[in-house]
Structure formats: C-alpha cells, structure tokens
Amino acid sequence: MEIVYFAGGCLWGVQAFIKTLPGVTFTEAGRANGTSHTLEGDYDGYAECVKTGFDPTVVTIRELMGYFFEIIDPYSLNKQGQDVGEKYRTGVYSEKQEHLKEAKAFISERNDYDLIVVEVLPLTNYVRSAEEHQDRLARCPNDYCHIPEAILNRYK
C-alpha cells in the first residue's frame, strides 16, 4: 500500500468521493503542509486534505489524478464551490518523489496545463483532523458539499 494526500476544497466531499474509488484502501481527513503539529491555534498555512491509502497494483497515481480532476476546478485558486480561502486550495502532496513526478506529468500532458493552479509538492507536515470531520458526509449527509451528489456517488 502507498499513501498520497489530495486537497480539493472542503475535505468532507473529497473524502466521501475518494473512498469510493477502486484501489483505495483507506482515507483520513487532515491538514497538509501547515507549520503546526496541532489542531490548536491560528491558521498556519495548511490545506484541507484527504490522506489516501491505495494499492498501486489496482490504481495508479495518474488514474487517481484523473478521478481527482473530476471533483475539482483546477483553474480556481484558493476556492472550490462556496468555500474560499487558502486552506481550500487544490493540491497533491506525497513523501514519495515518484508520486509527485507522476502527478506533474499528468498535469503537463493536459492541453490546459498552463491554466492549472493545483499544487504538487512534497508533504512536509500532516495533522489528522478532529473526529467530527472524519467521514462527515456519511454521518451528516445534508451538510454543504461543493461536489454534486451525482459525482460523489459515481463509483459506489
């Protein structure tokens, strides 16, 4: 199993979508690349993300990127749906250089690559979100989600 981190706006919908994908073995809501190692205190530059465990013999990083691009607006900086702010930026983070190389290749091979504002960076810090954010849409299906329900359930 390998791990990659996807930031696609509010993590509730991102987690609900990613956990339905083939080859994904687990998900966890969290914060990527902030400066703090705690949930306490002022905003520290993190992006809301979903820690994604996957089986690389079933799904590749490029395939995961294709799925990810189904749920984000890759041209929108610090905004997805009604969620606005730096913590809602889009990004892909990993501790494995090969993951970052594949994610960058996926983007650079697109015709619109020069318009895409999705970060692809090494993971420098990760903090697990509070329990209330874990699998939030499964527990509170009427909460706001920027991803249309038809897309959220596409791979169930």
Structural domains in the chain?
Answer: 2-153 (3.30.1060.10)
Structure tokens at 61: 């990083």
State residue 156's pLDDT score: 85
Number of H helices, E strands in the chain: 5, 8
155 C-beta neighbours (distance < 10 Å), count:
14
For the chain, residues with pLDDT lower than 70 are none
- Residues labelled as active-site residues: 10
Closest alpha carbon to 145 in 1, 8, 6: 8
Cα separation, 15 vs 11, in Å, equals 6
Q: Is 15 helix (H, G, I), strand (E, B) or coil?
A: helix
